[in-house]
Chain A
């Protein structure tokens, strides 16, 4: 793929690789005897591998292609394949941690295999590895198509994609070595955090520069969401990860915040990682791929506006609902609860907008599993946002908090919404990118759909049951006014649900493996077909069907 870069671009890539190799070497030397040293070695190896590919291409002749007639899809393709790889790894880890809760001895006699260390590998693996790569890859695709312009630059998209994956690898390997800040979904230590900031700034510049090249007067709604995703994740990431390292030659750092302020900052981050990573970005996917696949325009432009700004404004306030009845001041809890309830309006506006878009195309939902993935994703989005607002109510939260109900809620969103919309998008974009007629096997897509749906439903029902049962058992009193159940009593009651949850997760994982196989076979064996009208051009479109404001 490096042959498509010009000589100058190859040189820039080479310089970046060499700088990375030096950074890796310094980290490895300075951090010797500390996990940071191992991370230095990982950086060095990653830089070495990239250097190898760049060097192999550096003597090649200049590319002959005309860059004005085509989109630049190589990084998108790579990103999608990497996303599928992370899906299998992350979900595989998920099944393992779930199984450990049902059968705690299902581990080896090594520190790294305990629940506490592999659980963040699961969460980061699916959120950042699978979700993040899918977001970066689809954002490259969507911003080019909706702008009708080629990516602004050929090195920076690779830098963002590969740099982000280096972050993911450092994160996952760090957890196994015990490197963690303990902040949920922000566990990686200070040097990984700094690296992600660099990657993210390049990502933002790339996005804005591509938008600046656009041949459309208006910026399409999908891009608003991707833009919000990039911007707000940067703000959240920087603030929540403010920390002072114990030494520059070691991984350990201490958060700048303590106690109640730290708790609020963490859940401001944590809840908005859900909002701007797992919702805004994927809504960008939904707003592009669902109407495209259904061949119907978005139902309502105004609903899109309403829901977009509603989500951007309301979500930020909602984090404190993670801290009901804690030492966080009551006024902050109440604000969080209020905004969480109001959040239902823009959330359902989005879900409704997506479902109404399908009017006139419901026969396609019946026949086409790819579109059905996206339809069910929109339904799960609506369900889990309702559940979220409900659980944010203080009285409900007193029961649900600290129990598996929260875990079930998160997975209704993560499996039912995030993963399904991603798989739907992957199935619709892979044939286009690799210039194939269709996916290799529509039957496998159909199988994947039902496995994923069954897995999600089993998982969520198991967690609803265990969460509500445990919450009720904790607060049950005997007639004499003492607590009726010990903590271990509740643990015993959880066992069947933990088994069911592991089974649900295994079904979902099976579906992801089928997806990876299907994509591989599509790239290798599906018959070729050049897509029509998939190239950058000046706009021929009329203005959107909205009454002109003036």
Chain B
């Protein structure tokens, strides 16, 4: 019986070996074989993610990153924060209890690239927004061990001294639109001014922010310095919006709140 079950497999194996014995004399046959064999899996797993609608939930209240937040996100990437911090709460009870409602696909819908991360040397940041004050973030980034003595995070004090470069933001938003983020012409044209305005609430530049990005947008001196817009402003603005672009995750999991 055992022999009977195995015999088709043995025949297939035999056939494969014989075919291979012939094809391995042709480099182009091998090339084609490799491309086909290696192509199947990726195609089957990736292509449907673009076509199946349920892959990404609908969230009508989803808002875009403001230019200042996007600049902060670029700094987050530049400094390699993603190497130690994930932004993906898994559907496990202890993670929901520790960090908040589990992450939904829609929350990173406009994240080019995604920053789900692969390692938690530090805690997950998917729901970091509004958890701590701006002041806490600034102190923590300047010297993590002054706030959390056991921390192994590097110091980022230099962000306080570096003026944020805003001139390139229209280009960056335009590139993001090219890959699918629905920024309007107006948002792109005003990107530089909006970035400065969001961190200087008492200036004229701040007026257009809520108009273009919604009333709930945080407009304040994120780094506590009134006279200039620094990279610290941008990074803190980004950290404070993490997990707050949409309420979908909270609506979806009423019991998820701690």
Most chain A CB atoms below 10 A, which of B16, B119, B181? B119
Q: Flag if A332 contacts B16 (CB, 8 Å).
A: no
A contact residues around B115 at 8 Å (CB): 182
Q: Is B227 an interface residue (CB 8 A)?
A: no
How many residues on A have C-beta within 8 angstroms of the other chain's C-beta atoms?
101
Q: Flag if A111 contacts B79 (CB, 8 Å).
A: yes
Q: Could you tell me the distance in whole angstroms from the C-beta of B143 to the nearest C-beta in chain A?
A: 10
Q: Could you tell me the distance in whole angstroms from the C-beta of A459 to the nearest C-beta in chain B?
A: 16
Contact A475 B24, CB 8 Å, known A101-B152, A104-B152: no
Q: Is B105 an interface residue (CB 8 A)?
A: yes
Q: Which residue of B has the minimal Cβ distance to A481?
A: B97
Q: Could you tell me the distance in whole angstroms from the C-beta of B78 to the nearest C-beta in chain A?
A: 4
Per DSSP, are chain B's interface residues mostly helix, strand or loop, or mixed?
helix
1/0 contact trace for B76-89 toward A, CB 8 Å?
A: 01111111101010
B contact residues around A224 at 8 Å (CB): 24, 30, 34
Contact A491 B152, CB 8 Å, known A183-B113, A219-B25, A254-B172: yes
Q: Is B21 an interface residue (CB 8 A)?
A: yes
Q: Which residue of B has the minimal Cβ distance to A240?
A: B113
1/0 contact trace for B216-228 toward A, CB 8 Å?
A: 0000000000000
A549 to B20, CA, bound (A): 10
B contact residues around A329 at 8 Å (CB): 49, 52, 54-55
Residue in A115, A254, A256, A260 whose CB lies within 8 Å of B108: A260
Q: Which residue of B has the minimal Cβ distance to A35?
A: B78
Q: Is A305 an interface residue (CB 8 A)?
A: yes
Residue in A184, A219, A254, A323 whose CB lies within 8 Å of B24: A219
Residue in B37, B81, B84, B155 whose CB lies within 8 Å of A312: B37
Q: Flag if B46 contacts A231 (CB, 8 Å).
A: no
Q: Is A313 an interface residue (CB 8 A)?
A: yes
Q: Flag if A254 contacts B175 (CB, 8 Å).
A: yes
A479 to B79, CA, bound (A): 40
Q: Flag if A402 contacts B86 (CB, 8 Å).
A: yes
Q: Flag if A218 contacts B112 (CB, 8 Å).
A: no
A145 to B82, CA, bound (A): 44
1/0 contact trace for B192-206 toward A, CB 8 Å?
A: 000000000000000
Chain B interface residue count: which class?
35 or more
Most chain A CB atoms below 10 A, which of B19, B45, B111? B45
Contact A549 B25, CB 8 Å, known A114-B79, A258-B112: no
Q: Is A100 an interface residue (CB 8 A)?
A: yes
A58-66, A73-81, A263-271, A449-457: which lies at the B interface? A263-271
Q: Flag if A336 contacts B45 (CB, 8 Å).
A: yes
Contact A219 B30, CB 8 Å, known A244-B175, A246-B171, A254-B113: yes
Q: Flag if B80 contacts A114 (CB, 8 Å).
A: yes
Q: Flag if A178 contacts B79 (CB, 8 Å).
A: yes
Q: Flag if B172 contacts A246 (CB, 8 Å).
A: yes
1/0 contact trace for B101-125 toward A, CB 8 Å?
A: 0111111111111111111111110
Q: Flag if B108 contacts A259 (CB, 8 Å).
A: yes
Q: Is A483 an interface residue (CB 8 A)?
A: yes
A164-172, A286-294, A314-322, A514-522: which lies at the B interface? A314-322
Q: Which residue of A has the minimal Cβ distance to B149?
A: A488
Q: Flag if A254 contacts B92 (CB, 8 Å).
A: no
Most chain B CB atoms below 10 A, which of A175, A328, A336? A328
Q: Is B4 an interface residue (CB 8 A)?
A: no
Most chain A CB atoms below 10 A, which of B22, B31, B42, B151? B42
Contact A232 B38, CB 8 Å, known A120-B80, A257-B113, A305-B17: yes
B contact residues around A218 at 8 Å (CB): 24-25
User: Using a CB-CB cutoff of 8 Å, which residues 152-201 of chain B contact chain A?
Assistant: 152-156, 158, 168, 171-172, 174-176, 178-181
Q: Flag if A256 contacts B179 (CB, 8 Å).
A: yes
Q: Flag if B13 contacts A261 (CB, 8 Å).
A: no
Q: Flag if A475 contacts B94 (CB, 8 Å).
A: yes
Q: Flag if A258 contacts B45 (CB, 8 Å).
A: no
A266 to B113, CA, bound (A): 9
Residue in B22, B80, B94, B103 whose CB lies within 8 Å of A116: B80
B contact residues around A231 at 8 Å (CB): 31, 34-35, 38
1/0 contact trace for A237-250 toward B, CB 8 Å?
A: 00100011111001
Q: Which residue of A has the minimal Cβ distance to B157?
A: A109
Q: Flag if B152 contacts A100 (CB, 8 Å).
A: yes
Q: Is A534 an interface residue (CB 8 A)?
A: no
Q: Which residue of A has the minimal Cβ distance to B45?
A: A332
Q: Could you tell me the distance in whole angstroms from the C-beta of A322 to the nearest C-beta in chain B?
A: 7
Q: Flag if B84 contacts A115 (CB, 8 Å).
A: yes
Contact A259 B145, CB 8 Å, known A218-B25, A312-B34: no
Q: Which residue of A has the minimal Cβ distance to B80?
A: A116
Which chain B residues have a beta carbon within 8 Å of chain A's beta carbons? 13, 16-22, 24-25, 27-28, 30-31, 33-35, 37-42, 44-46, 49-50, 52, 54-56, 74, 77-84, 86, 88, 90-92, 94-95, 97-98, 102-124, 144-145, 148, 150-156, 158, 168, 171-172, 174-176, 178-181
A-B contact pairs, 23 of them (CB 8 A): A104-B153, A208-B27, A208-B31, A218-B25, A227-B31, A232-B38, A246-B171, A254-B176, A258-B111, A260-B56, A264-B46, A265-B46, A268-B45, A272-B38, A309-B16, A327-B88, A327-B103, A332-B45, A403-B120, A407-B119, A475-B94, A488-B150, A549-B18
Closest 9 CB pairs of A and B: A116-B80, A316-B41, A325-B90, A114-B154, A259-B108, A317-B41, A549-B18, A178-B78, A255-B113
Which chain A residues have a beta carbon within 8 Å of chain B's beta carbons? 100-102, 104, 107, 109, 111, 114-117, 119-120, 175, 178-184, 208, 211-212, 217-219, 224, 227-228, 231-232, 235, 239, 243-247, 250, 252-266, 268, 272, 276, 301-302, 305-306, 309, 312-317, 319-320, 322-329, 332, 335-336, 339, 398, 401-403, 406-407, 474-475, 477, 482-483, 487-488, 491-492, 546, 548-549
19 extra interchain contacts, Cβ-Cβ under 8 A, other than A258-B113, A268-B46? A104-B144, A104-B152, A104-B154, A111-B158, A180-B77, A184-B118, A227-B30, A235-B38, A247-B175, A258-B181, A268-B45, A305-B16, A306-B16, A312-B37, A317-B44, A325-B91, A327-B88, A335-B45, A546-B21
